[in-house]
Amino acid sequence: MSKNIIFITEQTFKERTGASNAIDGKQLFPMIKVAQDMYIMPVLGSTLFARLQNGIDNDNLTVSEKTLIDSYLTDALIWFTMSLLPMTMGYQLFSKGFLQKTAEESNAPSRGDLEILEKKYRSMAEYYNTRMIGYLQENYNSFYEYINTGSGWDVVLPENKAYTSPIYLGTTTMSRNPRYVNSSNGLGVPKNVYVTPNAGVSTFQVNELNGRTTLLAIRNGFTKAITSSPTANSGYLQVVNATVTLPTGDLTESGEVFIFQYI
């Protein structure tokens, strides 16, 4: 369950969308929170999501975190919130149940019109989510919690796609990012492989890495640098094709989880 800390203010929402200043902020807050929990948190991952909330609460956001919020997250959250409002703002819960609001000298749109608005706003929000994912993948070194997600049943790992359409629409703009161009693999977005090797070994095979470029390695939630040479430095892992070798004198422990990101 996330804290009651939202990433945008009522005023920012109204200025960016042109919404009426007469709207009560108490009506907006629940939908802003729902939107960021449902659509923003899966993109950030629950660990980075919590870090940004704590950063706002403690007033200690880094420059990179402020850029993420101001230049990417805000636009996505605003339009995801807008996609939730067409249905929710027209109705209110009273003691008699849900009642539809009416206003003089105005016409209430049909349900079909509201659904069209919802889909339009959702499409706009997903565009901004795509840009945010690209920014995070390009600058992952600036966001420790984006890579070091930790473990546990309630940990949500970051998603690498923003659109939820059940129809495959082809390559997205992210896969055209030059950071992921590789002479042997061509264009593509990073993929993750999770490995739990046998306990007590110093080397193990990860077939998915064979012939690929390994971007990063994580051991039990801690990022390790990658080297192609033998090393005694516990901050490194040796990766040569599909063979992963631990630092000299180190052995795997029971249940250890390794994560490798590759293209």
The list of the chain residues with pLDDT below 70 reads 1-2, 87-111, 161-189
Contact (Cβ atoms closer than 8 angstroms) between residue 222 and residue 256: no
Give 76-133 pLDDT, tens digit per residue.
999 999 998 876 666 555 556 555 566 555 566 666 777 788 888 888 999 999 999 9
Contact (Cβ atoms closer than 8 angstroms) between residue 224 and residue 218: yes
pLDDT computed for residue 168 by the predictor: 42
| pTM metric for this prediction | 0.60
State the Cα–Cα distance between residues 3 and 55, nearest whole angstrom. Answer: 12
Give the SS3 label for residue 149: coil
- HSE-up (13 A, CA, CB side) for residue 139: 15
CA distances to 20, 25, 246 from 82, rounded to whole Å, are 13, 14, 49
pLDDT computed for residue 109 by the predictor: 62
pLDDT computed for residue 90 by the predictor: 61
Pairing of strands 236-240, 222-227: parallel
pLDDT computed for residue 88 by the predictor: 66
Q: Residue holding tokens 């997903």?
A: 126
Contact (Cβ atoms closer than 8 angstroms) between residue 250 and residue 234: yes
Tokens of 62: 């880094």
pLDDT computed for residue 42 by the predictor: 92
Chain centroid offset of residue 234 CA: 29
CA distances to 73, 191, 241, 247 from 207, rounded to whole Å, are 36, 13, 8, 20
pLDDT computed for residue 162 by the predictor: 62
State the Cα–Cα distance between residues 196 and 199, nearest whole angstrom. Answer: 9
State the Cα–Cα distance between residues 203 and 246, nearest whole angstrom. Answer: 6
Amino acid code (one letter) for 81: T
Q: What angle do CA 193, 128, 167 make, to 5 degrees?
A: 60
State the Cα–Cα distance between residues 167 and 159, nearest whole angstrom. Answer: 18
Question: What residues contact 183, with CB distance under 8 A and at least 6 apart?
Answer: none
State the Cα–Cα distance between residues 52 and 72, nearest whole angstrom. Answer: 13
